[in-house]
Every structure is written in C-alpha cells, then in structure tokens.
C-alpha cells in the first residue's frame, strides 16, 4: 500500500491525500484520510505540489513520433536553400545508404513559396535515401535514391502514397527507440496515448516490450484484427488544410476551383463502423474540412454509434447543431493548430471564424479530448493547454484552465488505475503564457513509478524504463 500526502489534488484543494493499492486508487481525501492508513502504507510527502490524474494524449502517431526523435527537425526552415543546408549537415554524419528522415518543413514559410522537389535534393544527397515530410504529415518529398529504394515513380507524395512510404521507412524503429520516446512523454506527465494510423509492426513491437505508458491502438491496416489490444481502426475522410486536401463545401479562398479531396463518404464510413461494432471496435475518422465532417455526421445520424472524430477543424454553425445531436463518442482536438495554422485565413477567408471551435463544442455538450497529433505538432501537452488558454495565433475563443485541463486529465475516481502526475509547478499559479514550461516531478502508471528525475519516490515499486 502506498500513500501520497501533503498534495494539492486537482478538483479540490481540500483533498491532500491519495492511497494506492495493487495499482489502483484505493482512497483519497483530506489529511484525515492519510491518518487512517498510517503504519500500513509507505508514504511520500508531495510537499505541496499539485497532483493530477495522468495526462492522456488522445491522438498521436507513436511510432512516427519515435522516428521523429532521431529525425532532422525542419520546423522553422524559411527557404529551399535553408532546407538544403539542413540536409547537408545530416548527410555529413550519415553512413552511405543510411536513410535520412526529416520532418516539419512548411512551404507557407518558404520565401520560395513552393514545395521542395527531388531536383533540390539529389545533388546534396546522392548516396542516402531521403524522406522529408511536411509539418502536417499529409505531404512529403523523396530524393531519387529513396524513390528507387521504395519503388515509387514520383518524388512528391500526398495522403495514402505518403503513408505507405512512411510505413516502409518506420519499420526500422526498434524497441529502445520506442521506450526512449515513451520516457520523454512521461516527463510531461503523459500516462496514456491513443496511437493513430498504427501498423501491424507497431502492434508487434508493443507486444514485445513492457510499455510504461498505456497505449490504445487504432490500426491503419489489418482492419479485420480482433486482437484485444487493439481499440479500433483509423480512416481518413479527407486530407489537410496545409496541403489543400481537406474536403470543403466551398472552394479554397487561395485556390479557386479546388474543394479538397473527399476520401470517404458517409455510406462507406457507416458500413465500416457497423462491421467494427460487431467486433466491439471503434472507428476513428479523420475529418478536417466541413465537407468531410458532414459525411461523418450523416453516418452518425444513420446510427453509427461507435464513431469518434479526429480533428473536426472546421465546423459551420449548421454542422455544430447537427453534431451536438449526433453525439460521437469523442472528438480529438489539437489546440496547438491554432498556432501552427497561422495562415489559415488565406485558405478559408471569412470561414476561418468557424475553425477550432473548442469552446463552442463544450458549450453544446460535446465530449472533446485534447491531443498533440505528434509528430505533426509538439508532443508537449502543456504547449497545447497554453494554446487553448490564449487562443493561439488565430484568436479563437480561449478556454478556462479547468476546461483545458479536463480535456487532457480524466476525473479522479476510486477503483481506477493509479495513473498520476505530480507537477513541478501549479498551473493555477502561473501566467497563462508560462504554462508550457510545466513538467512532471513524478509520473506513476498503474501504481508503478515510471518517471522520477529527483528520486522523490525512493523505494517505491518502479518500472524498468526509469533506468533508461
């Protein structure tokens, strides 16, 4: 039996004590609660720190995130020439034939105003296959060596062609890389992730390791999998704003005649959801544009009650009203998009006012959950929470701190798994622009200490990853 005392427990500062037994929360309450277990439990003094239920990232790409940790960071690159210099620096320290992966370029930030092509890369990287993905992960570019290795006849890839290439490249991820990625997530206080577009390879790796974080998998392949460790399937109804492939009801403001790409209509979504429901699985549908979202809503209205929506980035008022009645299981949103999509007004014009309506979704009773979409956006949940509090670059209606935290941290309840995070700073004591600097002083998953940089829980049962 384990006890945490002198904590400031999220939800009510009158509660300062929490008891753990057999990996579950046995009890919590005031200091009197701790006295009942004195002599029977091993105590930890939280010294006034804030204790919250462990954070949940409800939409990320775990294997791709692990790959990105050893990838070339291309965020903030301002031109094709800068991109070339970044690639050159990696080529100099890479062995011939070794894959070079880069992520984060955005042609919207380029002075050149265009996508990179193989002609920009072949002369500086002739002996290494190269894959550079756009910030949104819906577009990518290959050099000629990579095209040859993958058997692909084009250098600029979008949507399914890109995902296929990524799956082939990320198969090189090993167990240690995955565990190191998880350790970084634990440092933010994340105790559970929902891994989207998961491959059968990811499923195999996760089964072979003792993962310190709870992972809920949504496969992009092996759709018939009845594996108990798989929660469901993730499919795409459209693409992204950045690549102008998000399906819109009206044409793009900066690309007349282009309405985006609708990848799945409501009939196909409904049929797949029913098939999965028979096996007790959930269908997660990526829908960014309003046209794609409308198709998902139609499937919900027809009775597809095992649907969750990923993104729901553009919600005109008529769709918000229909969505509030259709009630998906949850909507996974990404507050940091309000910062990285600073250019969205160019794409949507006046319609930008209907983008990222987190506050309005909560107001009509929709269940929304926060996420990073890492490696598309930073994995740090506190950066996303800060964006939700400030409205980001798009000036969307901000959330309160309690609203933002509830998107990431579930309610504390007796009998639930002891997934907990002790914070190094109180979110309620910080300026909202400083929230992103919060880190975990201690992260506990299933009653085991998984992250403890300062040795606060010396002698408590811990997970082997703590020694990585």
Residues 6+ apart with CB under 8 A from 428: 50, 401
Locate tokens 């309620």: which residue?
428
Give the C-alpha separation, 55 to 427, whole Å.
14
Name the token pair of 389.
């509090």
d(C-alpha 56, C-alpha 54), whole Å:
7
Q: What are phi and psi of 386, to 5 degrees?
A: -60, -40
Task: Mention every residue, 6+ apart, whose C-beta is less than 8 A from residue 194.
Answer: 56, 57, 58, 59, 60, 216, 218, 231, 332, 371
Q: Could you tell me which residues are beta bridge partners of residue 423?
A: 440
Collect all residues with Cβ–Cβ distance below 8 Å to 413 and sequence separation of at least 6.
25
- Distance (Å, rounded) from C-alpha 9 to C-alpha 14? 8
As beta bridge partners, residue 167 has: none
pLDDT in tens, 401-455: 999 999 999 999 999 999 999 999 999 999 999 999 999 999 999 999 999 999 9
The percent of residues above 70 in pLDDT, for the chain, comes to: 97
- Give every residue of the chain whose pLDDT is below 70, as ranges: 170-174, 221-225, 466-468
Take residue 85 and report the two structure tokens written for it. 């210099």
pLDDT at 221 (0 to 100): 66
In terms of Cβ atoms closer than 10 Å to its own Cβ (0-12, 13-18, 19+), residue 219 is buried
- Please give the pLDDT value at position 98: 87
pLDDT at 302: 97
Q: Is 420 helix (H, G, I), strand (E, B) or coil?
A: strand
pLDDT in tens, 3-51: 999 999 997 778 999 999 999 999 999 999 999 999 999 999 999 999 9
Q: What is the pLDDT of residue 225?
A: 65
Single pTM value for the model: 0.84
Distance CA 209, CA 205 (A): 7
Domains along the chain?
63-170 (3.10.310.70)
Both tokens assigned to 277:
């429901």
Output the pLDDT for position 297: 98
């Amino acid at each position: 039996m384990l006890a945490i005392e002198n904590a400031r427990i999220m939800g009510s500062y009158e509660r300062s004590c929490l008891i753990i037994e057999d990996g579950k929360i046995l009890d919590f309450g005031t200091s009197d609660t701790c006295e009942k277990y004195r002599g029977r439990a091993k105590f930890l003094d939280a010294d006034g720190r804030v204790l919250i239920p462990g954070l949940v990232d409800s939409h990320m790409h775990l294997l791709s995130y692990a790959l990105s940790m050893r990838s070339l960071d291309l965020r903030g690159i301002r031109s094709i020439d800068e991109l070339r210099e970044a690639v050159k620096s990696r080529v100099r320290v890479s062995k011939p034939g070794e894959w070079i992966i880069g992520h984060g370029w955005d042609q919207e930030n380029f002075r050149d105003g265009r996508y990179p092509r193989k002609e920009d890369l072949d002369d500086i990287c002739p002996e290494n296959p190269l894959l550079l993905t756009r910030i949104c992960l819906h577009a990518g570019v290959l050099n000629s060596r990579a095209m040859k290795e993958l058997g692909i006849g084009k250098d600029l890839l979008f949507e399914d062609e890109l995902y296929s290439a990524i799956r082939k490249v990320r198969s090189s991820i090993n167990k240690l890389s995955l565990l190191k990625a998880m350790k970084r997530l634990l440092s933010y206080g994340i105790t559970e992730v929902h891994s989207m577009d998961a491959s059968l390879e990811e499923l195999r790796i996760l089964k072979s390791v003792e993962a310190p974080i709870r992972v809920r998998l949504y496969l992009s392949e092996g759709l018939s999998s009845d594996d108990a460790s798989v929660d469901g399937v993730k499919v795409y109804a459209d693409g992204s704003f950045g690549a102008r492939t998000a399906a819109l009801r009206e044409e793009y403001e900066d690309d007349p005649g282009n309405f985006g790409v609708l990848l799945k209509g409501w009939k196909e979504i409904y049929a797949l959801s029913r098939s999965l429901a028979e096996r007790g699985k959930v269908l997660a549908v990526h829908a960014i544009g309003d046209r794609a979202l409308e198709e998902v809503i139609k499937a919900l209205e027809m009775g597809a009650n095992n649907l969750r929506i990923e993104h729901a980035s553009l919600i005109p008022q008529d769709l918000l009203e229909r969505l509030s009645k259709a009630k998906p299981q949850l909507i996974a949103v990404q507050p940091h998009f309000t910062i990285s999509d600073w250019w969205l007004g160019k794409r949507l014009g006046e319609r930008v006012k209907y983008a990222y309506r987190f506050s309005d979704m909560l107001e009509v009773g929709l269940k929304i959950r926060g996420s990073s979409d890492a490696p598309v956006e930073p994995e740090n949940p506190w950066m996303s929470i800060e964006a939700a509090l400030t409205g980001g670059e798009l000036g969307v209606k901000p959330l309160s701190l309690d609203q933002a935290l509830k998107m990431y941290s579930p309610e504390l309840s007796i009998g639930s798994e002891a997934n907990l995070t002790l914070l190094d700073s109180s979110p309620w004591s910080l300026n909202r622009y400083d929230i992103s600097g919060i880190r975990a002083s201690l992260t506990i998953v299933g009653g085991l200490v998984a992250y403890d940089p300062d040795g606060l829980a010396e002698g408590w049962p811990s997970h082997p990853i703590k020694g990585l």
